[in-house]
Amino acid sequence: MKLSRRNLFQAAFGAAQVGLLARYGLPTAMAQSASGRPTKMLAIWLVGGLHWESFFAPMTRAGIQKFIPRAQGGRYAYGYNPEQVEHLDRSPVDLLSPGPARKLRVPVYWNWANPADKDGNNPVVNNEQVYRPEGYVWANPKYKLYEKAVLLVGADQGTAAHASGLIASMSGVAGSTFRAPSVQAVVANAMASRFPDRPLPNVALGGPLPQALGLPALANPTLLSSSATVEPTLSDRREGTWYGLRARKNEPDLAFDGTPMSGTVPATAVDSALLKAVRRERGTSSAGTDAYLEQLYDTYKGASRTIRRDMLSVLEKTPAWEKLKADPAYPEDWMACTGYSDACGTMPSMGDYAFALQLLKSDLVSTVNLRATSIEGFTFDSHFVNGQITHAQYLRIAFEMVGRMCLEMSLTPSRSDPSRSLLDETLVYVYSEFGRTFPKVGSDHHPATCALLVGGGIQGNQMIGGYDERMEGSPMGIPVRLVEESGETVTRTPQAQDIAATVLRAYGLLPGKDFFIPGGYGVFDGVVRT
């Protein structure tokens, strides 16, 4: 069959999922080798849909006055005035220009002279708010994390439903099921041949799995709900289960159809017998059954290699938080509170960031998808009365946590390239299901959303996009410059596909060759390093 965009588009919506890309002869993806490209991904899903505009400020002065409540709330600081908005690098801010490209800017709730201040009144807003320290991590001039971050603003998810929006953020295409592989799986697949010693290419730490629709079995996600799940599932340490079964022999690696491949498989007697049994079943039923058996076969070979690697021992020797805690401003046992102490929680209550760090530092993985919340598991699906006020408090805390994670990574040398940091070799992709209706009209689902990219492969200190401030209620995004898959540069409103494509292009992956997203897509201009 001739490879064409039309055929691929039709297939993506109507063909059987398994083996879709292979059916059209698309090879296993290979990222272009270029300096500065990431080789890992940390995808952080902040659960529930976000009021991005309560942490970042992509609007003009008029837009802030139209859509954002005035600064209020005392210790429960909420809303902001145009005078609070600053660039994170503290350069002069132009709030008259709508953009769409500008430096990262936020409403400043902290005290620049004393960022730890939790009791002083902010004179910039006539003492209507007490200083809140959360969020300063992005502006701290000692680390300049903003130089490695870009916010993509106002993308249309094409949905305001939780499941569909989450799939849109993971794959670029909204729907009840995946119709394109997740970006996590595409990256895992691309890195597999370059880093064969990473036994777990695609790991999910909670939440819906980042599916590898149609990609080789090695890109399928492995669900690890916590570090405690490694021992019973990916280790042969349990004596009662593995007694007498640990001995392994390197056997020739055979494809599902029996074709010799390069390398070997470290197989136990049980592994060897099972792989032979699965190969014998080939051709006894339908093509669909064969495709399923081939996935099972390849997955089992991968599991044999993973267990042989003794992941558990590697992880036990890999520290999580080790660098940032040397700074007294960032202790490992960090706790955050809202209001006086109305609700308090520690770092671990927001997600298994420590385990994600161990996985990335150990060099055992290519992609990690982390389900994350705010303190004490607070998710952001805030439909309740004054939900947008509570949401804003917890969101600042959540972004403080994300920033501290990025700082730890920036201070950790890469294992594969000591000249780079772990953050340099990792693209951090922060996303949610969708945005939410702007604060003056409540906190319902809203299809216009944002995404935050930090680390390798991107040009930092940027905010690309904005909102149509002529609209009433909750605005959609404004047009931005996008480089379409054809290479043509256009100006249009961004969509979920464009965020996914921008993430993948950061790795040097090529559209049509290394990945395909149904419905057409462009890449945000000026974001990806060339």
Q: Return the percentage of the chain with pLDDT > 70, whole number.
A: 93
Between residues 451 and 303, the one the model is more confident about? 451
For the chain, what is the mean pLDDT? 90
Is the pLDDT reported for residue 342 higher than 50?
Answer: yes
Residue 192 is inside which H or E element, if any? helix 183-192
Is the pLDDT reported for residue 118 higher than 80?
Answer: yes
The whole-model pTM stands at: 0.91
Q: How confident is the model at residue 235 (pLDDT cuts 50, 70, 90)?
A: confident
pLDDT digits (tens, 9 = 90+) for 475-521: 999 999 999 988 999 999 999 999 999 999 999 998 888 898 998 89
Across the chain, which distance is largest between two alpha carbons, in Å?
78
Q: How confident is the model at residue 298 (pLDDT cuts 50, 70, 90)?
A: confident
**Distance (Å, rounded) from C-alpha 365 to C-alpha 198?**
5
Q: How confident is the model at residue 35 (pLDDT cuts 50, 70, 90)?
A: low
Predicted local confidence at residue 11, as pLDDT: 35
Q: How confident is the model at residue 409 (pLDDT cuts 50, 70, 90)?
A: very high
**Distance (Å, rounded) from C-alpha 463 to C-alpha 84?**
17
Token pair recorded at residue 478: 């404004």
Q: Lowest mean pLDDT of 58-62, 186-190, 293-297, 409-413, name the range.
A: 293-297
Q: Lowest mean pLDDT of 152-156, 383-387, 414-418, name the range.
A: 414-418
Please tell me what DSSP assigns to residue 217: G
Question: Where does 310-377 have alpha helices with state H?
Answer: 311-316, 353-362
Q: How confident is the model at residue 5 (pLDDT cuts 50, 70, 90)?
A: very low
Is the pLDDT reported for residue 404 higher than 70?
Answer: yes
Q: Return the percentage of the chain with pLDDT > 90, whole number.
A: 76
β-sheet bridge partners, residue 33: none
Predicted local confidence at residue 154, as pLDDT: 97
Q: Tell whether the torsion through CA atoms of 392, 369, 410 and 88 is positive or negative.
A: negative
Mean pLDDT value of segment 162-187:
97
**Distance (Å, rounded) from C-alpha 349 to C-alpha 107?**
26
CA distances from 305 to 56, 235, 266, 299 (A): 44, 11, 6, 10
Q: Which amino acid is at 377?
A: G
